[in-house]
Amino acid sequence: MNIRRIMAFGLATTFAAVASFATLASAAETSTYVGADYVGSEKCQECHQKEYWGWKETLHAYKVQEASPRTVVADFYKNNTLTIGEYTSKMTEKNGKYSITTLDNEGNENTYPIKYTIGGNQWKQRFMTEFPNGGLHILPVQWNIETRQWVDYHGLAKRKPGEKGYWAHPGRTWNMNCSGCHTTGVKINFDESNKSYKTTWVDEGAGCESCHGPGSNHVNAPDKERFNTIVNPDKLNFSMGVQVCGSCHTRGKSLDGKHGFPNGFRPGIGAKRIEYLYDPVEPGGKRFWMDSDDSKSHHQQFLDYEQTQHAAAGVACWDCHSVHGNGMANKFQLKQPGSTLCVSCHGTPKIAAGKGGLSHSIHDFGNCVGCHMPPTAKTAVSGDIRSHRFDVLTPNVSIKAMVTKAAKGDKKVLAFFGLQPSDVAGKNAARVEAKLKSAASVAQENGKSFKNMLFGVQPNSCNGCHYHETTSPWALDEEMKKTRRIQAKR
């Protein structure tokens, strides 16, 4: 299912609901945004303190922050170098000021002061510097929080100075590629004549008006007009509402090819819908697993979700996630923790009590998330983001992918199994699979991690669990077949 199918679903709702939602959307288009400007989340706090302080607990509030001892979490003191090839970048702090010494777009060494941080509260932290023309560039080192490691980011690992994708290239500015989702109320202010930026924004992070639209009309309206001067995504029709989340939890390019976000998107405005502004990446491309259509890359949750029965049935993002707070003391802002959330809609008394047996799962502990939201994507390290397609990825999906890659002589797959290209050359798929299956038994006995290897091939739900990390996918596939045969006899 793509964005256009979700739009079609919105049109298929009952006439009464459509009429009601259309009235709200019309009010949004005529009253909410005419002459409205962004006022900032601090202004919203004056009347909405509970929502404001709940939002301050979320990651949305801290996408971008000024670099300071309070906001920098990376190690600039001890583990503060990253060597790629023959060059070593160095990260330093002096008197509360942070800088990174690395190679510029011409290949010359420079020391860049850090002006802003990106993230740092959960997975990773990146760092921005400002060039003389006002362009903000993300420096070529990233700090992974869980592993406490520096890694390359659009630097020397895969690129050379001067290349289009290199961090300091004029086309790699944060202003053009990221600002619309990392801040609220951004005005890029790019001057084509001298290639300069005078970018401004109202909130550092995804603030209140990222989801509710510019609020000056709302702030200044008399009480009886307040309702019609701000957007509440939950009160829009389904297809318009979920686009508010989808406008940032996606990946692609604006239709003019200039921006990495749907520049100009406004909540609740029909003429500013995502598909009129943006060309998202599609399953089948490099950002998805070829054999399952699950996302490989982060902030693509909406693209996964579009393919699901949840989207078809009208289950919105906020049916699962708390939008104004951390939720039930977990880092994903869920309304209930883990599988408890799933069984609140899908469960039976037996499943809710952890006694589902073989009626649904091959396990008796009912871990919905482990099977239906396997780790498939990467933001800092492989598998730190879960799929939002809600499909079980069986071991057979990985088996097919491994066979295909091995038959093509993929060196990493063959090396994992201790095979040479000559071992599979000229063999059909069945014979290649037989070779891999036999070698997999040896790999299992030696405790090799199929989980890690499969993040370069095609993950599955079973090997994605630490309990089955070292189990052969063929053994897991046979166990599933055995279980299904037992189920069929009941």
Distances from the Cα of 206 to the Cαs of 180, 220, 335, in angstroms? 9, 22, 20
Q: What pLDDT sits at residue 485?
A: 82
Residues 206, 25, 41: CA angle, nearest 5 degrees: 25
CA distance 269 to 240: 8
Note the pLDDT tens digit of each residue in 312-356. 999 999 999 999 988 776 778 999 988 889 988 887 655 544 454
At a CB cut-off of 8 Å and minimum separation 6, what does 259 contact?
A: 176, 177, 180, 253
Distance in Å from the first CA to the final CA of the chain: 34
Q: Return the residue matching tokens 């499943």.
A: 351
- Predicted confidence at residue 327, as pLDDT, reads 77
The pLDDT value recorded for residue 437 is 97
Provide CB contacts within 8 A for 19, sequence distance 6+.
Answer: none
Q: pTM for the full model?
A: 0.89
* Token reading at 279: 């060309």
Tell me how far the alpha carbon of residue 412 is from its chain's centroid: 26
* Tokens coding 203: 């909130």
pLDDT of residue 481: 87
Predicted local distance difference test score (pLDDT) of residue 35: 86
Q: What is the pLDDT of residue 335?
A: 92
166, 105 contact by CB (below 8 A) = yes
pLDDT value at residue 488: 74
Q: What token pair was written down for 250?
A: 């996606």
349-407 confidence digits (pLDDT tens):
555 444 544 456 677 665 889 899 999 999 999 999 999 999 999 999 999 999 999 99
Query: What are the helix (H) ranges across 417-472?
Result: 421-424, 429-445, 450-454
User: Which residues have C-beta within 8 Å of that of residue 203, sequence separation ≥ 6?
Assistant: 38, 40, 41, 183, 184, 185, 209, 210
Cα atoms in the Cβ-side hemisphere of radius 13 Å centred on 448: 18
- Rounded CA-CA distance 299/246 in Å is 9
Name the residue ranges covered by the structural domains of the chain. 64-169, 342-488
Tokens 């996302």 locate to: 295
- Cβ-based neighbour number of residue 103 at 10 Å: 20
The tens place of each residue's pLDDT in the chain, 490 residues long, gives 454 444 444 434 433 343 344 444 444 444 577 789 999 999 999 999 999 999 999 999 999 999 999 999 999 999 999 999 999 999 999 999 999 999 999 999 999 999 999 999 899 999 999 999 999 999 999 999 999 999 999 999 999 999 999 999 999 999 999 999 999 999 999 999 999 999 999 999 999 999 999 999 999 999 988 889 999 999 999 999 999 999 999 999 999 999 999 999 999 988 888 999 999 999 989 999 988 999 999 999 999 999 999 999 999 999 999 999 887 767 789 999 888 899 888 876 555 444 544 456 677 665 889 899 999 999 999 999 999 999 999 999 999 999 999 999 999 999 999 999 999 999 999 999 999 999 999 999 999 999 999 999 999 999 998 889 999 999 999 998 888 787 777 6
Q: What is the pLDDT of residue 14?
A: 33
